[in-house]
Amino acid sequence: VGWGRGPEGAIPPPPKGGEHPPTSRPAGPKAFHIPVNQRTALADLGFAASLNPQEYATLGVEQMLWDRLAPGSQKTYSSSFKHWKLFRSCADPPLPVFLFGKDPVEDEMELLRFVYWMGFVVGYQYSTVHVALYAMRYMHLVYGYGDVLKDKHRLTLAKLALKRHSNKPRRKVAATTAMLADVMAHSNLSVWKDLLCMTAISFGFFFLLRASEYLGSHQGAYLDYVVRVGSLTFLDSQGRLLNPAHDDLNNSHELIVNIPGSKTDLYNHGQRLNIHLSSEALNPLRLILAMWRSTPAHFREPNRFLFQYGSGPLHRDVVSSILKKAAIRLGADPKNVAPHSLRAGGATAMYHAGYSTAEIQLRGRWVSDCWMIYIWQGRGISKRLVERLCAVDYAPLM
């Protein structure tokens, strides 16, 4: 049995010869993974007679620890860990993948060499090196070697040095309602693809969605997290439920979207966000109703991706291209615009509209204050700044 949601071979076997992890994996099949709704007593399993509980549990430990990561993080860590494996294998003779912790000073020196090799020799940016270090750290934790980055103060200095010498990352500009209006003005909403794209853009902005929650990608979306038709709930003006299969959705006054899950959904409950009907043409509910009137059959299949185009979700490159063209028409640099601009734009608009920090954080499903880096200052915020500050009359408390 494979790794479940984790990529095959994501965590390497313990190094051969010499040291082994404190809890080495026993010989036999790879980690068994049984979905929660199919778990049963060990005695009921057909192979239980040849596998005692300790062996069975040990086989599942790696799977359990790997499943702590969101699917996207699993893929990222699996790919980033290859840098460390390559670095260790290029030594003469090749070195074991894991640091055993017997000599903390030498371990830190090896980490410093790794940072120098990746950042200053190969030329990777700070962000790539940072992720590679944390991927390596997680693999060590899984195999029982502890946190190899803890209390490595020289390593912290080395990372800061690399960050200083790295190119500054290009920050994605927050999309604006003017940009969305421009997209709509250059769209033919009687054409299904144009309507689909415009609605997806509206959803990304007003629901502060991550691109992976409603769009496809080259790497392949984790489809369980992508919004589907069945994720929508329509309510009339009295709060009564409307069924897309047989009710007239033109009576809808409120739309509830169930976000199935995300990397920050610690309890795997998903989150429900809503929006009410209004007169604005950009309103997501108004656009969804236009989709329903155009193609009612689309809404009769709950498992269909909400923004399905072809065999999968609408690709993020399609949305990116539309936004970049709008940026050019508005005189902005298209290099600074991407689907992520919609999430930043929605958060920025909420901030300048006077919504509280808690409301912004909740709608964007951020679990920390990192949402603040999504907020762009507007030029209008400094209007009358000088007059207001000069009007302040206070005596310093001495």
270's tokens: 């998903």
398's tokens: 């001495």
Can you tell me the distance from the alpha carbon of 175 to that of 182, in angstroms, rounded to the nearest whole number?
A: 11
Read off the amino acid at residue 129: V
Phi, psi of 217 (to 5 degrees): -150, 170
Read off the amino acid at residue 170: R
Q: Which residues contact 252 (CB under 8 A, 6 or more apart)?
A: 234, 235, 236, 242, 277, 285, 289
Q: How far is CA 117 from CA 15, 58, 90, in A?
A: 23, 36, 12
DSSP H helix total and E strand total for the chain: 12, 6
Predicted confidence at residue 39, as pLDDT, reads 45
Predicted confidence at residue 13, as pLDDT, reads 45
- Cα dihedral sign for 259, 265, 268, 273? negative
Going from the first residue of the chain to its last (398 residues), give the mean pLDDT of each consecutive group of 10, the final group possibly shorter: 35 41 37 44 51 76 84 88 95 94 94 96 94 96 93 95 84 93 97 98 97 83 83 96 92 94 70 95 97 95 94 94 97 94 96 94 88 85 87 83
Q: Provide the whole-model pTM.
A: 0.75
Phi, psi of 127 (to 5 degrees): -60, -40
Q: Which residues contact 227 (CB under 8 A, 6 or more apart)?
A: 203, 209, 213, 214, 257, 258, 259, 260, 305, 306, 307
Which of 156, 115, 154, 151 has its CA nearest to residue 132? 115
Can you tell me the distance from the alpha carbon of 54 to that of 45, in angstroms, rounded to the nearest whole number?
A: 15
* Burial (Cβ within 10 Å: 0-12, 13-18, ≥19) of residue 31: buried
Predicted confidence at residue 236, as pLDDT, reads 96
Can you tell me the distance from the alpha carbon of 151 to that of 142, in angstroms, rounded to the nearest whole number?
A: 19
Read off the amino acid at residue 80: S
Question: Which string of DSSP letters, residue by residue, matches 72-117?
Answer: HHHHHHHHHHHHHHHHHHTSSSPPPSS--SS-HHHHHHHHHHHHHI
Can you tell me the distance from the alpha carbon of 339 to that of 215, in angstroms, rounded to the nearest whole number?
A: 9
Helix (H, G, I), strand (E, B) or coil at 265: coil
Can you tell me the distance from the alpha carbon of 37 to that of 172, in angstroms, rounded to the nearest whole number?
A: 41
185's tokens: 């003005």
Can you tell me the distance from the alpha carbon of 358 to that of 377, in angstroms, rounded to the nearest whole number?
A: 18
According to DSSP, residue 326 is labeled: H
Residues of the chain by 3-state class (helix, strand, coil), percent to 5: 50, 5, 45
Helix (H, G, I), strand (E, B) or coil at 126: helix
Contact 60, 32 (CB under 8 A): yes
